[in-house]
A = this chain, B = another copy of it.
């Protein structure tokens, strides 16, 4: 039975943009696993697979249903041990958690501010409404006010990526000589930016820019099979 990946989409279903879904896309490609993408708009996420309060990505593999990109990666590693490893041992598994939290606390907030209005504008009317209401409640101001007061610049993104840039002087991937899930964690964040900006916004001629291109080209160019937001 084909693996199904439920992924967040814009009004145009071909535009899948969630960083967490992209982490899983890359993990599946790394494991050499084919999958069927099921695009889901914001207002349909909670009820995926007859659920309540679900969050994407959701992966259906036979009788197993897994939520959360990290849980999915751990599941794939356990279920498909003979395919290339996503962690390369227990230490790698543990330290991936640090990379996730670094990306989530340092990189995501910058990209979120960079693409916020564009996410909104790419959605279907009912999803626009949901997105606006949920975010405005969180920010305690309108999307427009938030964007005007807290908008981010590409320079902030470059600054946030300083540890990656520094590390790339020592090795070509976070995973060392070849990529691991930790690479896809950071790749997913930047891909989110790329879908909305039409480009990665990485610093020209930086090591991080080369790394991003290297990761996108892996597994038959899995990271380049994207549709930019309209």
Contact = CB atoms under 8 A, between A and B. Distances in A.
A24 to B, nearest CB: 19
The main secondary structure of chain A at its interface with chain B is: helix
Interface string A48-90: 0000000000000000000000000000000000000101111
A170 interface: yes
Contact of A162 (B92, B105, B174): B105
Interface residues of A, number: 34
| Stoichiometry (number of copies) | 2
A104 interface: yes
A93 interface: yes
Interface string A154-181: 0000000011101100110111110010
Contacts of A209: none
A91 B87 contact: yes
A35 interface: no
Contacts of A174: 94-95, 97-98
A180 B98 CA distance: 13
